[in-house]
Structure 1
Amino acid sequence: MRTLMLLTLFGFSLSLSAAPADISRGQVKAAMCAACHGATGISVLPDYPNLAGQKAGYLQQALKAYRDGQRQHQIMAPMAQGLTDQEIADIAAFFAAQQPAPAAKTEAVVGQ
C-alpha cells in the first residue's frame, strides 16, 4: 500500500512539473521556422511542408526525433538541436492553432 501511494504521488508530481504549451511563446520561437515553413506555417516553397493545422503531437514527435538524432535532415536536425521539450511543445501548439492552407484548386472538376 505504501509503495502504491508513493508511486501515485511521484506520478502526480511529474504531471505538475510539465507546463502547458503556450501558443504565444511558440509563435516567438517559431520565428526561426518562417524562412522555410512561412510565418504561420504555410510554406511558400514547394519543397518544405506546411505546418499550419498539423496535430501538435505529430509536430512534437517530429521535432524531438530531429533533435535526438532519430530523424535526419541537414537543416532540421541542427535547428531542433537546442530546443527543450517545453519549447517544442510551444512551437507545436502555435503551428497546430494556425489555419491550414486551403486545398489546391484543380482545372478539371471531377464529373464534369
Structure 2
Amino acid sequence: MKNALIATALVAAIGLLAGCSSQGNDSLGNPAAGEQLANTKGAATGQSCIDCHGAGGNAPIDATYPKLGGQYRDYLVHALQMYRSGDRSNALMSQQARDLTDEQIRDLAAYFASQPTQLRDLSPH
C-alpha cells in the first residue's frame, strides 16, 4: 500500500515536470525567443545585443564589452534587471534594458546562457 502511494506520487510529479518542460517558455526563459530578441534592434539605441556583443555573445565589438555566451543565466537576469531599474549604470545598457519585460529578460538570459562559452577566469594563478 505504502509503495503504491509512493509510486503514484512519483508518476504525478513526473507528469507535472513533463507538462512544464513541454511549454517551452517557463520561468527559466525560452532560448529560441531570446535568440530572436538578441537579433532585434532596440528602439532606444537602434542596436541589437548581437551588434555589440557579437554572434552568440562571444565576439564583442569592443574589448571592454563583456562576453555573454555561456554566462550564468541567473547572473544575466540579475544584470539586465539592474540595468532596467537603474541600479546598475551604463548609458547604453540602461537604455537597451529599460523597456524589457521580465519574460524578455529571462528569454535573453536563457539564450546567452545556452551558447558555447569563451569566458575565462581573470584571477591571478
TM-score using structure 1 length? 0.72
Q: Does 1:26 align with 2:34?
A: yes
Paired residues of 2:71 and 2:117 also in contact (CA < 8 A): yes
1:61-92 deviation line (CA, Å, top 9, x unaligned): 00000001111101000000000000000000
Name the counterpart of 2:112: 95
Name the counterpart of 2:56: 40
One-letter amino acid of the structure 2 residue matched with residue 37 of structure 1 = H
Q: Which runs of 5+ in 2 are unaligned?
A: 1-19, 40-47, 121-125
Say what the alpha-carbon RMSD is for the aligned residues.
1.6
Query: SS of the residue aligned with 1:75?
Result: helix
Matches within 5 A, 1:65-80: 65-80=82-97
Q: Which runs of 5+ in 1 are unaligned?
A: 1-15, 104-112
One-letter amino acid of the structure 2 residue matched with residue 66 of structure 1 = Y
Deviation at 1:35, TM superposition (A): 1.3
Query: After the TM superposition, which parts of structure 1 deviate over 4 Å for at least 4 consecutive aligned residues?
Result: none
Name the counterpart of 1:53: 70
Structure 1: distance between partners of 2:80 and 2:119: 24
Q: Percent identity?
A: 38
